[in-house]
Amino acid sequence: MKVMKFGGTSVGSPERMKGVASLVTKSGEPTFVVLSAMSGTTNTLIEISDYLYRKNPEGANEVINNLEHKYLGHIEDLYATEEYQKKTREFIMEEFNYLRTFTKDLFTSFEEKSIVAQGEIISTNMVVNYLQEQGIKATLLSALDFMRTDKNAEPDSQYIKEKLTAIMKENEGYQIYITQGFICRNAYGEVDNLQRGGSDYTASLVGAAVNAEEIQIWTDIDGMHNNDPRVVENTEAVRQLNFEEASELAYFGAKILHPTCVQPAKYAGIPVRLKNTMDPDAEGTIIDNVLVRGKIKAVAAKDNITAIKIKSSRMLGASGFLRKVFEIFESYQTSIDMIATSEVGVSMTIENDSHLIEIVDELKKYGTVTVDSDMCIVCVVGDLDWSNLGFETLAADAMKDIPVRMISYGGSNYNISFLIKESDKKRALQSLSKVLFN
């Protein structure tokens, strides 16, 4: 069985939904399908929640009415028979009446998560109704019945596997199984969501739970490219990536994939394939546990980086200095991307600068602090084991005309990272492409 995940753009209109239906039924084999909400829906549901937080039910109702009108307008374009038009129309009206109930009671983050979950619930019902109208043996499995997080807000993999295995046994014989991406229940049974990775995370967790032969992530891009196509001309899709390489690229700027969402597939040994709904015959990118030796695969960049340097002669030979520094970042729940140390100083980069002022104030207890804003991390990914002679020199040579604030090499066998000014990003990416790939 394959698992196929489609994002909001892929189900963004009746025409796109029909295209998804064609793709999932093409093989004729049992397929597990994970769907996002229609593009724009989640943002609109968050807007409704914002009005309710501000105790403005009139504003919320107006947005609800407009969204309901939009969905009702899709029905005749999607369904050919009066039976399924009526069935879906009644479902959508029931859904939006449910949303209106939130305008009359106390509103908290718990209610917000229930509202946001309705986007995926609506899209999956619409698609399964369309498949059934076409005579396809399809069924809808609610993610809220098996997708759960633990008390640390991490997916409860054992629970997911046990529940989903039992549900699949109860629903044997279907060609298409559809569920919602992104949404789940938390350890206390409340409606929640997976946050990081969203629907991609759901697909990876489902794939691991059902021991799928392959997990396919369908987007509007032809796989993961070897550089940013918005900045560099003539980029190419990377045909194969190791799981570690894919995670590095995703973390450092390749937005097609979230770095955490492939972990369940990696541990289960299930390949993940990135495919393009606009060009379904394109090969895309396969992500697996195979490492191609001696090859640099791709370059990615991460903007909005802040560099913090703390210099102190007191740290010379002093034990516990780095622990004290890291505890400051931990206390403000701010993660560090890159780090470089010397005998008298340490430099770090962060992406989340919401507590920058407080962090700098605390760091001043231990030394002189300087801050560089509007920075960018450029990451070169591939087989970059230290035993590969000349690889680090090749990457550095491509950056010879770019001022480099920091270099990180050796923390991973899969990347070299350079910290530069954002204003130099375009030149850096173009130079790296020229040297590494051309």
pLDDT of 277 above 70: yes
What local confidence, expressed as pLDDT, does residue 409 receive?
87
pLDDT of 258 above 80: no
Mean pLDDT confidence for 434-438: 89
385 against 88, higher pLDDT: 88
Tens-place pLDDT, residues 53-66? 999 999 999 999 99
CA distance to 39, 183, 234, 380, per residue, from 250 (Å)? 22, 22, 20, 12
Helix pair 321-331, 356-363: axis angle to 10 deg: 160
Please name every residue paired with 272 in a beta bridge, in sequence order, or none if there are none. Answer: 215, 287
Across the chain, mean pLDDT equals: 93
Tokens of 265: 């597939």
Mean pLDDT confidence for 136-164: 96
Mean pLDDT confidence for 95-115: 94
Residue count (the chain): 438
Q: pTM of this prediction?
A: 0.88
What local confidence, expressed as pLDDT, does residue 255 receive?
65
Tens-place pLDDT, residues 202-212? 999 999 999 99
H helical segments located in 269-335:
321-331
Q: What backbone phi and psi angles, to 5 degrees, belong to 32? A: -105, 125
Contacts (Cβ under 8 Å, ≥6 apart) of 203: 3, 4, 5, 34, 181, 215, 217, 261
What local confidence, expressed as pLDDT, does residue 134 receive?
97
Instruction: Report the SS3 class of residue 237.
Output: strand
Q: Are 202 and 5 in contact (CB under 8 A)?
A: yes
What local confidence, expressed as pLDDT, does residue 251 receive?
80
